Amino acid sequence: MALETLIASSFEPPLGNEPRRRALVLMGGGARTAYQVGVLRALARLLGERAFPFQIVLGTSAGALNAAYLASHARDGTAAFDRLAAFWSHLRSDQVYRLAAWRLGPPNLLTAGLTLMWQVRRHRALLDAMPLVDTLHRHLDLGRIDAALQAGVLDAVGVTASSYTSGEHWTFFQTHDARLAPWRRPGRRAEVQPLSIEHLMASAAIPFLFPAVPLWVDGHKEYFGDGSMRQLSPLSGAIHLGARQILVIGVGQPQRAGLTARSGGPEEPSAGTIAGHALASVFHDTLQADVEQAQRVSRTLAQLPPAVAALLPYRPVQVLALQPSASLDELALKHVSELPAATRDTLAGLGALETRRRGTSSAAALASYLLFEPGFVHALIRLGEADAMQRAAELRAFFDDDGADAGTRADAHSVR
């Protein structure tokens, strides 16, 4: 998959004498993407005041919101990372979604069912996403993205979404470089379009939770949902756009807490366990394999004799990937009580916050996607900062343009 992209993009016409493009790829994960904010804030400290260090910015789902916000402040240089942190620090769940819960005594299955039925009838999904639309309109100036592109601060900004209509995975990108052309691969498409609030809402439309969003492609309307769905190659967009260095920040971990029993034998999974597992699979399971393959191919190319490498049309890609060093499920478990009352009662009524079972952290995994509250957000930012500082030497080397060749610096230990 990454191999196919590396080979295919290598046969495309060269873009001329230009500096090596560096891309930032931000994965999705609802409120969990506050972790990315911590990594980037630490990066700002490591790099100091300087020009924006990425030429390409791509995002998926809530990562698309982060990408668009950063791109809109790219002319501020590394200060854009601190501006993103300030935005998250003031964010609350009621600025992202609304859930009007029925109240008929203590939380139970009946009231939860009535709540969700009412929500679906009114909003075509379990949650009303209009608060997020309003938040984006108030805090995001998309015109600043175009200004950054025109000024040459950025080469391309893109977001991904999955078409419910055709089943294809799309990358929508904005650029002023005519040499950056759309592409088409099996199951994957790209198109140049000015990014809009609708593109961001489509990318962030978590299945079932948020409604599908209509977008126009190929001259007709299709309905789109979360860009993490069917995203088999998270790095391919950056590679197609000419990136030869990619910093990718995910919000998953190899093993999610709570999927194995802490003591005793296994128990039947609760609704929260199943839902948390399903969302984790949507958001995280493809990133590590994609990074490892891109690194493996790049190392192979870098090890070829120079005379042989000069004859080949392939180019190595340096990939540095950061993901949380600690379980975000466990972290969310400490903050479940911060959920808005309506959300907490509805999840409790469905058994998705069952605390009498050993799968409690998996139930918290489901809640973590909706926990846009200060305690959880600030904990995620602190974790991201700590993880980035632990890998400060790698990050500094990644941004050292006078360092070793890109292919030789990519190694499997970059993935956690």
Measured distance between the N- and C-terminal CA atoms of the chain, rounded to whole angstroms: 20
Give 213's strand partners: 224
The verdict on whether 290 is a catalytic residue reads: no
Annotated catalytic residue within 76, 155, 226, 345: 226
Q: Transcribe 3-30 into DSSP letters.
A: HHHHHHHHTSPP--S-PPEEEEEE---G
pLDDT tens digits for 51-75?
999 999 999 999 999 999 999 999 9
pLDDT tens digits for 154-213?
999 999 999 999 999 999 999 999 899 999 988 899 999 999 999 999 999 988 888 999
Q: Would you state the pLDDT for residue 22?
A: 96
Inter-residue contact 97 to 132 (CB < 8 Å):
yes
Task: Take residue 40 and report the two structure tokens written for it.
Answer: 């980037």
Lowest mean pLDDT among 121-125, 229-233, 316-320: 121-125
Does the pLDDT at position 19 exceed 80? no
pLDDT tens digits for 224-242?
998 888 777 888 899 999 9
Task: Take residue 30 and report the two structure tokens written for it.
Answer: 């609802």
For the chain, which residues make up each domain, given as ranges? 22-161+234-254+302-401
Q: Angle at CA 173, nearest 5°, toward 172 and 175?
A: 155
Helices (H), 140-270: 143-150, 197-203, 236-240
Inter-residue contact 212 to 198 (CB < 8 Å):
no
Give 24's strand partners: 57, 247
pLDDT interval class at 408 (50, 70, 90): very low
The single-letter code of the amino acid at 85 is: A
Annotated catalytic residue within 9, 61, 72, 298: 61
Q: What is the rounded distance in angstroms from the CA atom of residue 101 to the CA atom of residue 350?
A: 12
Inter-residue contact 159 to 196 (CB < 8 Å):
no
